Amino acid sequence: MRGEGRAVLQRVGNAVLVPVQGPVTHDLLAGLRRDLLGHLAQAGASGVVFDLSGVEVMDADDFAQLRRVVDAATLMGATVVLVGIQPGVAAGLVVLDADIDWPRTALTVDSALKELQGP
Amino acid sequence: MKNAEFRRLFDVSDQDLEQVRAYGKRVTPYMDAFVEKLYTFLRRALEEHYTVHFPDPGTLQRAQSAIRRAWFEFWEARWDEAYVASREHIGNTHAQLQLDPRHYLAAMAYSFRLWTDDLAPQGLSDEERRVTIIAVQRVIAMEGALVVDTYHRRTTEIIDQQSRALVDMSTPIAALSQGVLMLPIVGILDSRRAQDVMRRMLSQISEKQAVAFILDISGVAVVDTAVANHLIRMTKGARLMGCTVIVSGVSAQVAETIVELGIDVGEMKTTGNLKDALKVAFRLTGVEAAT
């Protein structure tokens, strides 16, 4: 269970790329938070990019859980950007009236990294 | 099986069908008289609809021979799959021709009266008459339900097809340049349409990798709180995917309404005309706008 659905952190310059695959379970997010915060504490990073293109289903609750991870990383000084949210997921969250005003978003990983490295 | 389901719903026993068959043997010789009386009634009852349904003698004759066939089948009372299929065919035909189901049911009600009263054979005992009427009435009700059910399904299908086509037609999303999409919304933006538009908008954003999406609302008939909320939701949905929505075509009147109604448009980017929207979009994509 640990291997499946686990996010592996990738270092890109001064930023950390977090590809998220499969269903956003509580376990996945807990593991992710531990790994990411550990990494930020050890190596530091100016930016974190969550790549959510591999997530097909996410409800308002999952999204609120994700926010906690993002907020924690922000507290450690990183700017967090979400990319690759699937159209179905976005439409679902809007229809569910989820709180979706909080995240910084970008269209692609490239544009997110560029934005983080920009002025 | 559909025939079993209908027989259960209308509580039609084998005995009822047997009763219908036995009675049928006695009344089918009067088929000609039946058709004549029924059409005399229809001409009177349908008034101007009669000529709409039966515009020429050819059509009338086809309808009459179809009715004969249907009633011969009815009195055989087989109620097998073939029978159900033939009734579904009747329902589908009526739906295709957009015949009023009220007219069909009226004809069935009158037919029931003709068969069990006007054309009833002599020499039936009161008891025979009673059980016959109960059986025939049940089977006619079942048949009517089957035809109207099919009619309703087919009509719903037709409406679904049309509304799907309408959604596609009413959301002509155009790619203006690399990363910039535009959709003019024309007419009324109700919640159903808003959802359709949003779905198509979001999937196009993902497919075309759009950085900016121009939503032109100069053709929207009425902008009220509900419409403004739909626009805000669309904007949020797109933003979640990393795309910025620019609402263009905000007329002076619309701007006034929004202010008057106290609608909080939040971070929604709006412009008065398309030209300014394009400038904003090109700035987002890093393209210099031609002036």
Euclidean distance between CA atoms B22 and B24, whole angstroms: 5
CATH for A47: 3.30.750.24
Q: How far apart are CA A109 and CA A96, in angstroms?
A: 26
**Best residue in B173, B240, B244 for a mutation probing chain A (most A CBs within 10 Å):** B240
Q: What is the pLDDT along chain B (291 residues), one digit of tens a residue?
A: 788 889 999 999 999 999 999 999 999 999 999 999 999 999 999 999 999 889 999 999 999 999 999 999 999 999 898 999 999 999 998 888 888 889 999 999 999 999 999 988 888 888 989 999 999 999 999 999 999 999 999 999 988 888 878 777 777 888 888 899 999 998 888 888 888 899 999 999 999 999 999 999 998 888 888 888 889 999 999 999 999 999 999 988 888 888 888 887 777 899 999 999 999 999 988 865 454
* pLDDT value of position A93: 93
Nearest alpha-carbon partner for B239 in B255, B215, B220? B215
Query: Residue type for B90, please?
Result: I
Q: Can you give the pLDDT at residue B148?
A: 92
| ipTM above 0.95 for this complex | no
Answer for the pair B62, B93: CB distance below 8 angstroms, yes or no.
no
Question: Any idea what the Cα angle at residue B167 is, between residues B163 and B172, rounded to 5°?
Answer: 155
Side-by-side strand order, sheet with A79-83: A10-12, A15-21, A47-54, A79-83, A104-106
Whether A1 shows a pLDDT value over 70: the answer reads: no
**B2-166 has which CATH code?**
1.10.490.10
Where in chain B are the domains? 2-166, 174-285
Largest CA distance in chain B: 97
Question: Which CATH superfamily does the domain covering B174-285 fall into?
Answer: STAS domain (3.30.750.24)
Contact at CB, B241 and A105, closer than 8 angstroms: yes
Q: Which residues of A touch B (CB under 8 A)?
A: 82-83, 85-88, 90-91, 93-95, 100-101, 103, 105-108, 111-112
Percent of chain A exceeding pLDDT 90 equals 52
A53 is a domain residue: yes
* Inside any domain, residue A115: no
Determine, yes or no, domain membership for A73: yes
Domain that holds residue A68: 18-84
Asked if the Cβ–Cβ distance from A105 to B195 is below 8 Å, we say no
**A114 located within any domain:** no
A6: distance to nearest CA of chain B, Å?
A: 23
Pairing of strands A47-54, B180-187: unpaired
Give the whole-angstrom CA distance, residue B84 versus residue B77: 11
C-alpha distances (whole Å) from B177 to each of A91, B136, B139, B244, B286 are: 24, 69, 65, 15, 12
Under the banding of pLDDT at 50, 70 and 90, the label for residue A119 is: low
Q: List helix spans (H) across B28-117.
A: 31-46, 48-53, 57-76, 81-96, 101-113
The reply to whether A107 falls in a domain is no
Count the domains in chain A.
1
List chain B residues with CB under 8 Å of A101: 236, 266
Q: A55 lies in a domain? A: yes
**Phi and psi at residue B46, to the nearest 5°:** -80, -15
The beta-strand segments (E) located in chain A are 10-12, 15-21, 47-54, 79-83, 104-106
Report the predicted TM-score, pTM, of the whole model to 2 decimal places: 0.60
Nearest CA-CA partner of B250 in B285, B212, B280, B276: B276
B-chain CB neighbours of A107 within 8 Å are: 205, 209-211, 241-243
pLDDT at B166: 77
Which residues neighbour B119 within 8 Å (Cβ) at sequence distance 6 or greater? B27, B30, B33, B34, B37
B-interface mutation test, from A63, A94, A101, most B Cβ less than 10 A away: A94
**CA B39 vs CA B35, B91, B117, B188, B245: distances in Å:** 6, 20, 17, 45, 62
- Looking at residue B118, what DSSP letter applies? I
Say if A80 falls within a structural domain. yes
| In a domain? residue A111 | no
Quick check: B242 and A107 CB within 8 A?
A: yes
C-alpha distance from B219 to closest chain A C-alpha (Å): 24
Residues in chain B: 291
Contacts of A111 in chain B (CB under 8 A): 211, 242
The C-alpha atoms of residue B33 and residue B240 are separated, in whole angstroms, by 72
Residues A4-58: tens digit of each pLDDT? 455 688 888 889 999 998 888 888 888 889 999 999 999 888 999 999 999 999 9
